[in-house]
Amino acid sequence: MTRVFSGIKPTGHLTLGNYLGAVRQWAEVAQHRTDALFCVVDMHALTVDHDPARVRRLSRQAATLLLASGLDPELCTVFVQSQVDEHARLSYVLECVATDGEARRMIQYKEKAARERERGGSVRLSLLTYPVLMAADILAYGTDEVPVGDDQTQHVELARDLAVRFNQRYGQAFVVPRATHPKVGARVMNLQEPTSKMGKTDDAGPGIVYLLDEPDVVRKKIMRAVTDSGREVVYDRVARPGLANLLDILAACEGGNPEDLSGVYESYGALKKDTAEAVVELLRPVQQRHKELCADPAYVEEVLRLGAAKAREMARPRVDAAYRAIGLLAG
Ligand code: TYM
């Protein structure tokens, strides 16, 4: 059976981008058809300036939202990265396979490091090694497929390169994974800045729809989305990015095609109104279930405890084998 692994980083509240680009596919497709693991990758949240209490809170919230989005612990394994030591163990081994140049070429590293330096802050070493830990997350489980949004493609490519290199040098230990993306919604853009990704770590702003935003807040954000000058509704991601983003979001909500939808609308206002309602309806059941799960934190804790135990068992033999293969006296 195909093995799937994917993760989400608790650096902020989950957004519509996370949902349409990743989580919805996990819940609607992956958990039913594959042997899947989904992880709140809390160690990745320490790579930038962080508040420990906030990371703990956001990790619990992310896990609760994954369950609220429909991940079913009877069908897949849901867990928190720091509760399974194999990720950090394997990450070190992969650091001995990756090169410094490879890590420095990662676009997200370059962008985040530049932003941090502009602010006069220092860049944590873990920001540079982050994609290697991500490769460890993936490779520890013999993962075939990694369902992610577009922005993670380069990181999954690195995981592939490291798997191939390790296997060639030290003997077959890892499956070579590949990234998969949803047809529509793989890159949801910021509503106020439609040439930038809708990212959860950005400052809370009117351009980001959070999964837990109240319906009226969602409506307001979408109705105020920046659109382009021009009047007809056409789908052109380069020339009309604001409009294309709304068409993408609506198409992703309805399971349609953004190009087909463009012919249906005569005004931006009508498109915004339908998009807002579609997002409100999409989020309604997730928010309802989230509320129920918040009333039962012991259930969520138990799901995570059992998930971590299962994940540990799955990862351990492969990580031990990699330790032995690379020359360590692993038990
Ligand atoms: P993270 O936490 O930034 O995002 C989680 C998932 O959501 C997708 N995503 C988006 N998709 C479409 N439009 C957007 N605006 C948008 N924003 C985020 C991401 O592509 C991702 O699939 N490095 C990863 C976490 C990670 C991971 C892993 C993923 C760590 N280890 C192993 C897969 C496998 C990250 O920062 O995702």
| Ligand 1 pocket check for 134: Cβ under 6 Å | yes
Task: Give tens-digit pLDDT for 180-198.
Answer: 999 999 999 999 999 999 9
Q: Supply φ then ψ for residue 174, to 5 degrees.
A: -120, 145
Q: Are residues 96 and 244 in the same domain?
A: no
pLDDT at res. 202: 59
* pTM, 2 dp: 0.97
Identify the H or E element spanning 25.
Answer: helix 24-25
- Judged by DSSP in three states, 145 sits in strand
Task: Give tens-digit pLDDT for 266-291.
Answer: 899 999 999 999 999 999 999 999 99
Residue 170 has a CB neighbour count (10 Å cut-off) of: 17
Q: How far apart are CA 24 and CA 149, in angstroms?
A: 11
Å from CA of 30 to ligand 1 middle: 16
Q: Are residues 254 and 309 in the same domain?
A: no
Å from CA of 155 to ligand 1 middle: 10
Q: Which atom of ligand 1 is nearest to the CA of 44?
A: 30
Q: Are residues 219 and 241 in the same domain?
A: yes
Average confidence score pLDDT of the chain: 96
pLDDT at res. 34: 95
Q: Are residues 258 and 313 in the same domain?
A: no
Q: Active-site residues: which are they?
A: 112, 197, 200
Given ligand 1 and candidates 14, 132, 133, 152, which is best to mutate, with the most ligand atoms within 8 Å of its CB? 152
| Ligand 1 pocket check for 9: Cβ under 6 Å | yes
| Minimum mean pLDDT range among 57-66, 155-164, 209-218, 231-240 | 231-240
In the chain, % of residues over pLDDT 70: 98
Assess if residue 207 is contained within a domain: no
User: What is the average pLDDT across 230-248?
Assistant: 92
| Ligand 1 pocket check for 233: Cβ under 6 Å | no
Q: Which domain holds residue 108?
A: 3-181+297-326
Assess if residue 187 is contained within a domain: no
Å from CA of 85 to ligand 1 middle: 21
Range 190-197, long-range pairs (CB < 8 A, 24+ positions): 191/221, 191/222, 191/224, 191/225, 191/226, 191/242, 191/245, 192/224, 192/225, 192/226, 193/226, 194/225, 194/226, 194/241, 194/242, 194/244, 194/245, 195/241, 197/17, 197/151
Identify the residue whose C-alpha is closest to ligand 1 atom 33: 6
Closest CA to 70 of 36, 109, 105: 36
Closest CA to 75 of 24, 22, 35: 35
Assess if residue 264 is contained within a domain: yes
Task: Give tens-digit pLDDT for 120-142.
Answer: 999 999 999 999 999 999 999 99
Q: How far apart are CA 82 and CA 55, in angstroms?
A: 12
Å from CA of 230 to ligand 1 middle: 33
Q: Are residues 230 and 129 in the same domain?
A: no
The contacts of residue 92 (CB under 8 Å, 6+ apart) are: none
Q: Which atom of ligand 1 is nearest to the CA of 150?
A: 20
| Ligand 1 pocket check for 131: Cβ under 6 Å | no
| Ligand 1 pocket check for 208: Cβ under 6 Å | no
Assess if residue 158 is contained within a domain: yes
Estimate to the nearest angstrom the gap between the alpha carbon of 304 and the chain centroid.
18
Q: Are residues 307 and 284 in the same domain?
A: no
| Ligand 1 pocket check for 152: Cβ under 6 Å | yes
Q: How far apart are CA 128 and CA 137, in angstroms?
A: 16
Please answer whether residues 18 and 12 qualify as being in contact, where contact means their C-beta atoms are separated by less than 8 angstroms: no
Q: How far apart are CA 275 and CA 29, in angstroms?
A: 23
Q: Are residues 287 and 309 in the same domain?
A: no
Give residue for tokens 């919604």.
185
Residue 301 has a CB neighbour count (10 Å cut-off) of: 12
Assess if residue 190 is contained within a domain: no
Q: How far apart are CA 70 and CA 119, in angstroms?
A: 39
pLDDT at res. 262: 86
Assess if residue 331 is contained within a domain: no
- Judged by DSSP in three states, 239 sits in coil
Å from CA of 148 to ligand 1 middle: 6
Identify the residue whose C-alpha is closest to ligand 1 atom 20: 149
Q: What's the pLDDT band for 263 if we cut at 50, 70, 90? A: confident
pLDDT at res. 330: 80
Closest CA to 6 of 75, 112, 79: 79
Å from CA of 264 to ligand 1 middle: 32
pLDDT at res. 146: 98
- Count how many domains the chain has: 2
CA quadruple 287, 291, 292, 294: dihedral sign: positive
Task: Give tens-digit pLDDT for 199-213.
Answer: 986 566 899 999 999
pLDDT at res. 97: 98
pLDDT at res. 203: 63
Assess if residue 168 is contained within a domain: yes
| Ligand 1 pocket check for 12: Cβ under 6 Å | no
pLDDT of 155 higher than 80: yes
Identify the residue whose C-alpha is closest to ligand 1 atom 26: 7
Q: Are residues 45 and 126 in the same domain?
A: yes
Greatest extent of the chain over all pairs of C-alpha atoms, in Å: 69
pLDDT of 331 higher than 80: no
Q: Are residues 109 and 137 in the same domain?
A: yes
In the chain, % of residues over pLDDT 90: 93
